[in-house]
Amino acid sequence: MENICALATPYGVSAIAVIRASGDDSIKLISSIFSGKDLTKVKSHTINYGYILDKDNNPIDEVLCNVYFAPKSFDGENMVEINCHGGTFVIEKIIKRLLEIGFRLAERGEFSKRAFLNHKADLTGVEAIMDVISSTNDIALNASLSSLRKSTLNLVHKFRNDILDILAKIEVNIDYPEYEDMVDVTHKYLEPVLLELKDKMKEILDNSKITNVAIHGIKTAIVGRPNVGKSSLLNMMLEKDKAIVSNIPGTTRDLVEDNLTIGNVTLNLVDTAGIHETKDLVESIGIKRSKEALDSCDLVLLVLDSSEDLKEEDKYLIKITENKNRIVILNKSDLKSKIKFDNAISISALKNEGMDLLAKKILEITSINNITKMEGNYLNNIRQIDLMDKAYNSIIEAYDACLNLVDISLIEIDIKKAFDLLGEITGESYEDELLDALFTKFCLGK
Ligand SMILES: Nc1nc2c(ncn2[C@@H]2O[C@H](COP(=O)(O)OP(=O)(O)OP(=O)(O)O)[C@@H](O)[C@H]2O)c(=O)[nH]1
Ligand SMILES: [Mg+2]
């Protein structure tokens, strides 16, 4: 493949930076500007000391080159990792030199894409690498590490094998009706098989939805009428002055977002504009956004001002959040309290009091501490879940068709669709596999 290079560490000043290079001639090319050993002759997986040289053979930087010969490298290509000093000027100079001698800059994710194309990793494996990098809590990290150890791949393979088995049996029935050793694939035979498959898929989907909230964060909206202290609460939770606070009602006009991790729970917090009737155009746009945030969130922190009697807006918000995952927060506990609310948490955002109670309540309400028990029985991201969901729906269709005694060759189409959709999770193809399974599992050619 083409010779590509990219900085693999963050751009900026650091002790060491790593420049990654991959491609057919990558080792040969870098060797030609390297003062140390001939890199084409060293052993794979060795670290080699020397200098990267400029056009006039003057040193650009003192480096260590890690050499990996194909196919035993991350992306399955010849690869060199140049460990240089982490100054932006030096990094740019080395990359410029690499471009001069025939490399081009890699695109985003191109090394991983190569790893996939070279069968070094399936799509779930490639995604797991990204997930490890973006983990913000232990659950997310454990999930991505287990996916890196192929738990997701194995899970999908298990489903695909089960489906393949059904497909193969149907095909054999259709193509070789005279073959006597085969099970007769009737509606009666298919019904319990599809039912079991459907239930298993549902279980995975349910598990995945719970774990994904834990992995990717709980969308949490802080709502309330103006001036109750929503932005003060956000700032208290984040331990920084993220949102503007003032005693003027209607201070927050737009959504203010940030992430916060409490124990194993990551919250994607959104502070919203106080919800009330207004004629102010800008404010009403903000309020519309508040309502959207409220509709789409997984958890509501409803803030009430405990120093004032409940107003119409409070009552309205209490009512519309009733059936949501909700924590009611009585703010301004430093002032004389005028309201009571069952199960509410009392805090003073001004005095920074009550965060411990709120944190405890959040952990309680999100109850995602049992997730570790689900290891290997869930999918790790929305793309995977979406495909599994579609595959599940195809199996439901197949099952319903089976109950209605629809022709089996038509039911087969839905089952095949589910198989293909699951294959998209891992990036595998389908036609070849079906043929392989047909002939290896049933030995028809003998
Ligand atoms: N006494 C007291 N005052 C508070 C407390 N929390 C917030 N305030 C005050 O209440 C006023 C409003 O606070 P904000 O955090 O801006 O309220 P908000 O709900 O974000 O208001 P809008 O953005 O206008 O909807 C400010 O003057 C805060 O200092 C508290 O716990 N006790
Ligand atoms: Mg505010």
Q: Whose CA is nearest to atom 10 of ligand 1?
A: 229
- Asked whether 274 lines ligand 1 (CB < 6 A), one says yes
Q: What confidence tens digit (pLDDT) does each residue in 187-222 have?
A: 999 999 999 999 999 999 988 887 887 788 889 999
CA of 249 to the centre of ligand 2 (A): 8
Mean pLDDT of 23-27: 97
Q: Is the pLDDT of residue 437 over 50?
A: no
Mean pLDDT of 91-113: 92
Contact criterion met (CB below 8 Å) for 395 and 91: no
Q: What percent of the chain has pLDDT over 90?
A: 64
* Phi, then psi, of 445 in degrees rounded to 5: -75, -10
**Alpha carbons 358 and 85: distance in angstroms, whole number:** 46
- Ligand 1: nearest atom to the Cα of 225: 25
**Short-list 380, 383, 358, 374, CA closest to 147:** 380
**Alpha carbons 191 and 168: distance in angstroms, whole number:** 16
Mutate to test the pocket of ligand 1, among 245, 289, 334 (most ligand atoms within 8 A of CB): 245
CA of 247 to the centre of ligand 1 (A): 6
Q: Binning pLDDT at 50, 70 and 90, where does residue 129 land?
A: confident
- Tell me the whole-structure pTM to 2 decimals: 0.70
Rounded alpha-carbon distances, angstroms, from residue 201 to 8, 170, 317, 379:
38, 21, 37, 11
Mutate to test the pocket of ligand 1, among 337, 345, 350 (most ligand atoms within 8 A of CB): 350
Q: Is the pLDDT of residue 379 over 80?
A: yes
What 3-state DSSP class applies to 300?
strand
Q: Is the pLDDT of residue 235 over 80?
A: yes
> What single-letter amino acid sits at 145?
L
The predicted structure's pLDDT at residue 80? 98
Q: Is the pLDDT of residue 232 over 70?
A: yes
Rounded CA Rg of the chain = 29
Q: Binning pLDDT at 50, 70 and 90, where does residue 383 land?
A: confident
Q: Binning pLDDT at 50, 70 and 90, where does residue 68 land?
A: very high
Mutate to test the pocket of ligand 1, among 223, 227, 311 (most ligand atoms within 8 A of CB): 227
Q: Is the pLDDT of residue 444 over 70?
A: no
CA of 232 to the centre of ligand 2 (A): 7
Q: What confidence tens digit (pLDDT) does each residue in 300-315 have?
A: 999 999 999 999 999 9
Mean pLDDT of 98-112: 90
Q: Whose CA is nearest to atom 17 of ligand 1?
A: 229
Mean pLDDT of 219-228: 95
The DSSP result for 167-194, as a single string, is HHHHHHHHH-TT-TTS----HHHHHHHH
The predicted structure's pLDDT at residue 367? 62
Instruction: Extract long-range pairs of 423-427: CB within 8 Å, 24+ residues apart.
Output: 423/160, 424/123, 424/387, 425/123, 425/124, 425/152, 425/156, 425/379, 425/383, 425/384, 425/387, 425/388, 426/122, 426/123, 426/124, 426/153, 426/156, 426/157, 427/116, 427/122, 427/123
Residue partners of 158: CB distance under 8 A and separation at least 6: none
Q: Whose CA is nearest to atom 11 of ligand 1?
A: 247
Q: Is the pLDDT of residue 446 over 60?
A: no
Mean pLDDT of 139-162: 88
- Count Cβ atoms below 10 Å from residue 312 Cβ, excluding itself: 10
Point out the ligand nearest to the CA of residue 224.
1
Mean pLDDT of 170-194: 84
Q: Binning pLDDT at 50, 70 and 90, where does residue 109 land?
A: confident
- Asked whether 245 lines ligand 1 (CB < 6 A), one says yes
The predicted structure's pLDDT at residue 380? 83
Omega of the bond prior to 71 within 30 degrees of 0, cis?
Answer: yes
- Ligand 1: nearest atom to the Cα of 247: 27
Length of the chain: 446
**Alpha carbons 12 and 68: distance in angstroms, whole number:** 26
**Short-list 290, 216, 296, 281, CA closest to 252:** 290
Q: Binning pLDDT at 50, 70 and 90, where does residue 126 land?
A: confident
Q: What confidence tens digit (pLDDT) does each residue in 73-90 have?
A: 999 999 999 999 998 999
**Alpha carbons 434 and 164: distance in angstroms, whole number:** 7
- Asked whether 224 lines ligand 1 (CB < 6 A), one says yes
**Alpha carbons 353 and 358: distance in angstroms, whole number:** 10
The predicted structure's pLDDT at residue 211? 81
- Asked whether 249 lines ligand 1 (CB < 6 A), one says yes
- Count Cβ atoms below 10 Å from residue 89 Cβ, excluding itself: 11
CA of 341 to the centre of ligand 2 (A): 22
- Where b means 16+ CB within 10 Å and e means fewer, 53-76 reads beeeeeebbebebbbbbbeebbbb
Domains annotated on the chain, with CATH = 4-117 (3.30.1360.120), 151-212+375-442 (1.20.120.430), 216-366 (3.40.50.300)
CA of 355 to the centre of ligand 1 (A): 16
Q: What confidence tens digit (pLDDT) does each residue in 306-352 have?
A: 999 999 999 999 999 999 999 999 999 999 999 999 999 999 999 99
Helix 151-175 to helix 187-216 angle (10° resolution) is 160
**Short-list 110, 115, 104, CA closest to 29:** 104
CA of 309 to the centre of ligand 2 (A): 20
Q: Is the dihedral of CA 152, 154, 159, 161 positive or negative?
A: positive
Q: Is the pLDDT of residue 360 over 80?
A: yes
Average pLDDT, the chain: 89
